[in-house]
Amino acid sequence: MTLTRAWILLIALSLGSTLVAASGLSGRWLAVLVLPLAWAKAQVILTRYLGLAQAPAIARGFALVLALFMAALIGLAAWPA
Tens-digit pLDDT profile for the chain (81 aa)? 788 999 999 999 999 999 999 998 888 889 999 999 999 999 999 999 998 989 999 999 999 999 999 999 999 998 887
Q: What is the pLDDT of residue 55?
A: 92
Domain total of the chain? 1
pLDDT in tens, 35-51: 999 999 999 999 999 98
CA distance 8 to 38: 15
Q: What is the pLDDT of residue 43?
A: 94
What is the extent of the structural domain holding 61?
A: 3-78
| Cα separations in angstroms, 62 against 17, 34, 50, 52, 67 | 23, 20, 12, 9, 8
Q: What is the pLDDT of residue 80?
A: 83
